[in-house]
Structure 1
Amino acid sequence: MESEIHIHPDAAKNINKRANEILSLVHEVQPVKCTENSSFKSERVICHDLDEHEYTVDYEERIDLKDAERKFIEFSFYIGGRKFCLDKDHYHLVAALSSQIISCFCNKISKKISIQLIYNWIKLNYATNYRNIIFDRYLEEEARRNIRDITCYIPIANLEIEESFFVGKHELRPLSEMVINEWAEKLSSKEKNDFSNDTASLIEDIRREWQGLAVVVCKYNSDEYHAHALAREEASKIISILAIFLREITIPNIKISLGRSEGNDFISRATSISLADNRLTIYKDFENRMTSVPYHRIDKKYINLLNDLCFEKISCLLAKEEKSLNKFQERTLASLFMYSKSAFTSEPTEKIVYTLTSLEIILLKNDSEPI
C-alpha cells in the first residue's frame, strides 16, 4: 500500500534550490593518459576497452566512496564512456540536503536512502542529456516506493520465552515454528512463481538460526533501512531494561543477536528480520556467531512475577514519547539504562562505576554535584 507522501511547497522550493546547486558542482573528469614504461614490456593483462554498456554505478560501493579513515572521497559515475564526479569538498552540501529530505518525510526515510536518491537524481539528469527532472517530484515518487508498513523481528541471543508480553510499545514474542510456517505460507500463497529458491533458503536459514528464540517485534512506516535502525535501538533499550529484572540475560557481552559495541549506550549491531509487502528480508550488521553459553528460558510464572517487581510501571514509562516525559521520568529512564550496563560487563570496577553513576543520575539534584 503506497504511503501518502507530499512535500510542503515551501520545503519543495528550498530542496529544489539546494539540489540544483549540487548538480551544478558535478563536473566531467578528463581521462588520464597512461605513459609507457620504457624499462621493460609487461606481459600482464590488466585492462581492456570498455563499451558504454559496461559502465555501471553500484551505489553500495560508489555512493559513499571513502578512504581508510572513513572520510568521503568522491561520488562518480559514467555516461557514454565519460566520467562525471562530485568532489569531497562538496559532500557537506549533500549531507545537509539529506537531513532536509529526512525532515520533509517526518523521519520515515534513512540517511542511506536519502543520499542514494540525491545521487541517482544527479545521474538521471546527466543520462537524459537535459536537466528537467524536478527534484521534489522525483523524491515524492521514490519515497512512495520506499516507505511502507514494515514489521521487524530482532532475535535475542540465547533467550527463550514461554509466552508473549509487552515491553513499552513493543512485543516480546517467541519465534515459534508456527510463526515461521505462517511466513512461508503467506509468501508462497501470493504467487507460486514468486516463491523462489532464494526465499525458501531464507526461510530455512531462519529456522536453523533463530527458531525458538525470543524476538522483539517492532512495527514502522518507513523505508527498510530506517526501520532496521529504529528497531535495533528500541530492542536494545528493551533488553537493557529486562536485564535489571531477569538474571537469564545478564551474561556479559550477550545482548541482541550477540552484538555489543564498547562505549555505546545501546547496541549498534543486530540482526533484523523484516516482513513487508509479502517480502522477507534479513539485515545483519555483522557476522552472526552463536556462543557456547546455554539457552535460558523464562516461563509464564516468571513473566507474571515481573509486574510485582514494578516492571509494568517502567514498561509504561518506556512506551511514552520522549517529548512527553517530565524531568523526573527522563532521569529515571537514564538511570535505569546506565544501571543495566553493569549487567553486561564482567569487570567488577565497571560494575561499580555504572551502578554509582546510575544512583547519581536519579538521586542528586545538582547535575554537577559529585557522588
Structure 2
Amino acid sequence: MAVANREAGSQTHREVTRRVHNFVAGALTLVEHTRKFMRKNYSTTPMLDRYQAKIDADFKDKPLVGFVQGLRNYILHNGLPNSEMYLHFQSNPDRVEGGTLETGIHIRTLPLLEWREWSAPARTFIESCGEVVDIRTFAESYTHSISSFHDWLQSELDQFHSADLEELDRLQESLSRLEAAAKPGPAAPVGAKVSSGEGADESEQEFSFARSRAAALDAAVNALLHKVRKIELEPARDDGFPSERPIAVTLTDDEIISVPLVWVTDTGGRRALVIIHKDGAHFGLDEETFAEMQALTESVVKTDWAHRMLSRGFVEKTTIKWLQDNFQAENTKSLAETIAKDGRDAVRPLELWAPIANLEVQNSFTVGPAEVATITKAMIERLESQALSFAPQQRDSIVGLFNKLRESVQGLAAVVFRMRAEAGRIEEEGGVVAKTIVAFLRFFSPAALNFPAISANALLGSEFVPSSNLLILGDGSFSYKEAILAPNMPGWRISEGALKGMRPGLDAVGGLVRPEGLSAFALAIRSSLLLFSTGTTFANPIERLSYSLSSLEALLLRHSAEPADFNVAERMGLLLTQDRAEREAIARNVREAYRLRGRQDISPLLPREMGSVATFVRCAHNVIGTALWNVDRFGTVSDFVNSVERLRSQSPSTSNRNQ
C-alpha cells in the first residue's frame, strides 16, 4: 500500500481477483466432474448412494458452499466482484511498536447482495460476514471441507475396490516373477531333471479347489482364527429420555436359532464384530481383521465355479461358521473343503421372481436373460398348498402369510430369472438383472414421454410414491389425512397389442442388460437409458431435467471437455430434423432446459416452463431411441457423434434415406 509499491500492490490486487475467479470456477468444475465420474462408473452400485448421502450431509444447504458456487454464477453474469485493498491499524500502547498494521484484499458485501440470484444459503453466508467477505477465510474453509470430502471418497473407493487392488498387486507380483524368470539364468547341470510342479494354473472342477489355492485359503483362515480376540464391550450409554415408540417385537433366547452377529464398540473405542458368545464372554474380529476376511471371500468368488454359483454372503457366512466351530479347537478342519461341501449341498436350480410395482402384463415376454411374467392366482394357490403339505401344524400362520402375498403381489408382473446357484447368488445376480430390466421397461412406459406424469414402476418395495400424512388437532376434535402428492402416477398395463409395438425395442435393450462384452457405444446407451429411466421416477421437474440432460450428454459429447449445452443442442437438432427453423427451436428448448436445471430457488415452474420441460423430455426420448436403434452400427460415442455431425452437410432427402 506504500506509494513506492503502488504498481506491485495493483498487480497483487489483480492477481488475487484472478485467483478468486479461477477458484470458484474450479470449484464448480470439480463438483461436475466428480458427479459425472461417480454416475458413469458407479450408477448401479451402493457406492453411488453412499456418495450422494455424504454430499447431502456435508454440502447440501450449507451457506459457505452455496456462496462459493453462487459466486461462480455471479462472476459469469456480472463480472468480477467489487473487491478492495485495505489497510487497518490497531493501536496498542502496551507494545513497543505501538500497535499492529494489517493489509489485505476483501469483497464488499453490499454490492453482492444487490444480485437477486443468490440461493438462500449463499445469502445467509454473505449477510453473516458483515460489511466485507474475507477472501482468505472463505477460500481456506471451503478448500478444507472439499479436501476432507475427497479424502473420504478416496478411502471409500479404496475399500470398494479392495479386492481389485489386491488382485492388481498379485498380478504385478506375478509379472515381476515372470520377468525375473525370463532373464537368462545359470545353465542346469547335464542330466538334471526339471519338475513341472503344481500351482495356480492347476485345473479346478466344480466344488473343488486346486491344491495350491486350497492351501492358501486354509493358511489365510487359520491366520484369521488366531486374530479372534475377546471383546470387552463399551458400557451402554443412556441418552437421557425414554422412547414413546411402541415395541414391535420382543425376542427371547429360545427364538434365536443361530449366534447373533453384532457390530459393537469396545472399551478402547474400536469397532469389532462379535461372532462368538462363550462362558459369558464375547469374542470377535476387529475391523481390520474383518477386512482381511472380506479379501479371503473375494479370493474364493474369483474362482470360476464359485463365481457362477456362490454369493459373497454365502462364503462370508461359511467362513464365520468355520471360525465359530474351530475357535479354541485342537485340530482345525479345512475351510476349502468346507466351502466346497456346503456349496455342493446349497447349489440347485432356482427361480427368482422380483415383483414390479404398479405393472400388469397380459402375456409373458423375455428381456435379455430374464422373463417378465404375471404372479397369478393359481401360482400362489399352488405354493400355498405345497407349504401346507410340508407343515400342516402351522396352517394358520401359512394361510395368513399367503393372504398377505395375495394382497401385495398377486396379479403384478415380475422379472423372472433362472440359474443354478445357491439362494444368495441368485439374489445377487438376479437382483441386478431385475433392477436393470425394470429401468429399461420404464423407458417404454407412458410416463417416459408424457411429462409431468411420473413412473411408479420399480422393484416392489423400492418404488417412490410421494405422499402426505397430516394430523390436525382442535378443541375436542382431530383428523388424520393421507394423500398421494403425485396424481400423475398411473399404473401401467401392457396388453398383447402394446407388447407387439414394444417388441423391437425390448429386443434391443435385452442385449444391454449385462454390461460384459459391450462396446463403448453400447455401454454409453446403457448408461443413458438408466439415467433417463431414473429421471421418470421424480416428481420434481428440475430433477427430471437433470437426469434427462445427463442421459443426453452420455451420448452426444465426445468427451467431458466439450461445451455441453451448445453441443447437445446442436446435435439434438441434427438428429431430430433437417429443417433449420425446427433445429433452432430445438436448440432454444435445450438451452432453456440447461437454464432451468441451474435454477437455485425452489419456486414452482411457470406453466410455460413446464411446457418447455415436456417438449425437451420428448425430444430427449427420441434421441436416445435413435441411438438405441443404431447400437450395432457404432463402436464408440465419437463414431456416433461424427455420424451426427455429417448430417449437417446432407440434404433432407439424403439424410432421410440414411437414418
Structure 1-normalised TM-score?
A: 0.73
User: Which residue of 520, 526, 529 corresponds with 1:336?
Assistant: 529
Change (3 A) 1:196 1:122: farther
Q: Is the 8 A contact 1:152 1:231 kept in 2?
A: yes
Q: Is the 8 A contact 1:77 1:83 kept in 2?
A: yes
* 2:284 is the counterpart of 1:90: no
Q: Is the 8 A contact 2:225 2:327 kept in 1?
A: no
- In structure 1, the partner of 2:133 is none
Structure showing the higher helix proportion among its residues: 2
Tell me how far apart the structure 2 counterparts of residues 96 and 123 of structure 1 sit (CA, whole Å).
Answer: 19
User: Which residue of 351, 359, 362 corresponds with 1:151?
Assistant: 351
Q: Deviation at 1:80?
A: 4.7
More displaced 10-residue stretch of structure 1: 81-90 or 238-247: 81-90
Segments of 5+ residues of structure 2 without an aligned counterpart are 1-204, 235-252, 465-485, 565-659
Change (3 A) 1:88 1:341: closer
Q: Deviation at 1:58?
A: 4.1
- In structure 1, the partner of 2:276 is 77
* 2:432 is the counterpart of 1:239: no
Q: Deviation at 1:81?
A: 4.8
2:316 partner amino acid:
I
1:352 partner amino acid:
L
Q: Is the 8 A contact 2:374 2:413 kept in 1?
A: yes
- In structure 2, the partner of 1:120 is 321
- In structure 1, the partner of 2:582 is none
More displaced 10-residue stretch of structure 1: 160-169 or 143-152: 143-152
Q: Deviation at 1:364?
A: 2.0
Structure 1 residues 94-105: aligned runs within 5 Å: 94-104=293-303, 105=306
Q: Deviation at 1:334?
A: 1.2
Change (3 A) 1:224 1:325: same
User: Which residue of 343, 347, 351 corresponds with 2:540?
Assistant: 347
- In structure 2, the partner of 1:266 is none
Question: 1:262-307 CA deviation, whole Å, 9 max, x = no partner?
Answer: xxxxxxxxxxxxxxxxxxxxxxxxxxxxx99664322111111113
* 2:418 is the counterpart of 1:222: no
Segments of 5+ residues of structure 1 without an aligned counterpart are 33-52, 262-290
Tell me how far apart the structure 1 counterparts of residues 258 and 264 of structure 2 sit (CA, whole Å).
Answer: 11
- In structure 1, the partner of 2:208 is 6
* 2:449 is the counterpart of 1:256: no
Larger radius of gyration: 2
2:363 partner amino acid:
E
Q: Deviation at 1:239?
A: 1.4
1:346 partner amino acid:
A
Question: 1:209-232 CA deviation, whole Å, 9 max, x = no partner?
Answer: 111111111112233233223323
Tell me how far apart the structure 1 counterparts of residues 543 and 422 of structure 2 sit (CA, whole Å).
Answer: 38
User: Which residue of 281, 293, 297 corresponds with 2:493?
Assistant: 297
Tell me how far apart the structure 1 counterparts of residues 393 and 422 of structure 2 sit (CA, whole Å).
Answer: 22
Question: 1:201-258 CA deviation, whole Å, 9 max, x = no partner?
Answer: 4333222211111111111223323322332322221111111111168635552214
Change (3 A) 1:66 1:167: farther
Q: Is the 8 A contact 2:301 2:310 kept in 1?
A: yes
- In structure 1, the partner of 2:405 is 206
Tell me how far apart the structure 2 counterparts of residues 175 and 347 of structure 1 sit (CA, whole Å).
Answer: 32
Tell me how far apart the structure 1 counterparts of residues 431 and 332 of structure 2 sit (CA, whole Å).
Answer: 40
- In structure 2, the partner of 1:170 is 370
2:426 partner amino acid:
A
Q: Deviation at 1:146?
A: 2.7
Change (3 A) 1:57 1:125: farther
Question: 1:68-97 CA deviation, whole Å, 9 max, x = no partner?
Answer: xxx952224133555433333322111111
Task: Give the secondary-structure state (helix, strand or coil) at the position aligned to 1:171.
Answer: strand
Q: How well do the aligned residues superpose, as a CA RMSD in angstroms?
A: 3.3
Q: Is the 8 A contact 1:248 1:296 kept in 2?
A: no
* 2:508 is the counterpart of 1:314: yes
Change (3 A) 1:194 1:151: farther
Change (3 A) 1:57 1:210: closer
Tell me how far apart the structure 2 counterparts of residues 114 and 303 of structure 1 sit (CA, whole Å).
Answer: 41
Q: Is the 8 A contact 2:358 2:456 kept in 1?
A: no
- In structure 2, the partner of 1:27 is 229
Change (3 A) 1:197 1:103: farther
Tell me how far apart the structure 1 counterparts of residues 512 and 231 of structure 2 sit (CA, whole Å).
Answer: 53
* 2:336 is the counterpart of 1:133: no
Change (3 A) 1:175 1:31: closer
Question: 1:183-214 CA deviation, whole Å, 9 max, x = no partner?
Answer: 3345556x576986544443332222111111
- In structure 2, the partner of 1:47 is none
Change (3 A) 1:365 1:204: same
1:155 partner amino acid:
P
Change (3 A) 1:241 1:66: farther
More displaced 10-residue stretch of structure 1: 109-118 or 211-220: 109-118
Percent of aligned pairs with the same amino acid: 20
Whose RCO is larger (CA < 8 A, sep 6+)?
A: 1
Q: Is the 8 A contact 1:57 1:78 kept in 2?
A: no
Tell me how far apart the structure 2 counterparts of residues 200 and 230 of structure 1 sit (CA, whole Å).
Answer: 31
- In structure 2, the partner of 1:288 is none
Tell me how far apart the structure 2 counterparts of residues 327 and 362 of structure 1 sit (CA, whole Å).
Answer: 11
Tell me how far apart the structure 1 counterparts of residues 337 and 210 of structure 2 sit (CA, whole Å).
Answer: 11
Q: Is the 8 A contact 1:161 1:297 kept in 2?
A: yes
Question: 1:102-159 CA deviation, whole Å, 9 max, x = no partner?
Answer: 22311532333222211211111136x3232111111112222333222111111122
Q: Deviation at 1:66?
A: 7.4
Tell me how far apart the structure 1 counterparts of residues 556 and 490 of structure 2 sit (CA, whole Å).
Answer: 37
Tell me how far apart the structure 2 counterparts of residues 184 and 254 of structure 1 sit (CA, whole Å).
Answer: 27
* 2:572 is the counterpart of 1:369: no
Task: Give the secondary-structure state (helix, strand or coil) at the position aligned to 1:73.
Answer: strand
Change (3 A) 1:175 1:76: closer
Q: Is the 8 A contact 2:456 2:491 kept in 1?
A: no
Q: Deviation at 1:343?
A: 0.8
* 2:217 is the counterpart of 1:15: yes
Question: 1:158-203 CA deviation, whole Å, 9 max, x = no partner?
Answer: 22111111112111111111222333345556x5769865444433
Structure 2-normalised TM-score?
A: 0.43
User: Which residue of 182, 199, 207 corresponds with 2:382?
Assistant: 182
Question: 1:323-370 CA deviation, whole Å, 9 max, x = no partner?
Answer: 321112111111111111221111211222222211111122224424
Tell me how far apart the structure 2 counterparts of residues 29 and 355 of structure 1 sit (CA, whole Å).
Answer: 51
Structure 1 residues 272-283: aligned runs within 5 Å: none
